[in-house]
Amino acid sequence: MAKADSTLALGGASAPAYKSTAPRTYRPGNKGDDMSIELPFVLFDNKGGEQHVDHWHVPPDGCDDSFEETLIGRRYAAHYAQFLKDNPDSVGYSVLLSIVQDMLQKQGPKMKYTSRYVVGFLAHVDELVYMAAKRIEVFEHAAMREARDRVVNFELDILEFGEKEVAA
């Protein structure tokens, strides 16, 4: 059976291939391009002329032992972090939300267990958040971000409704 970090398809030639988890960098995309499709656990599908992005395309549990699946999940998180580092314009555009939504969708409604790929991914994201949080004043940063978002929102309101309408 193919290992999860291979680029071979599992389940025969018709199954989509799984991308390599070898370390790499991610080229910055053009404004508006969804560069997350470069991530090893993201599948871009353009069947029938309709585009679909699956943000959690991983091998089924049991392809590797659970320890190995957890390690692969950690590698996926490292790729996500490197992607954000290389594509700072993607920060704040809910890529992580899309990943988690697709994770939950794959888990199914009963959620009897958590995939080891998910466990490894989220554990490493936690670790990376902790390491970043140690370097900044997190509440001060949140307040600065909130102030900036309020200014941007106000400016967008002026563009949409006009200065007189917003001031009223």
d(CA 96, CA 67): 23
pTM across the whole model: 0.78
**pLDDT tens, 22-80?**
999 898 877 667 789 999 999 998 887 888 899 999 988 776 688 999 999 999 999 99
Query: What was the pLDDT predicted at 64?
Result: 65
User: CA–CA separation, 75 vs 21, rounded Å?
Assistant: 7
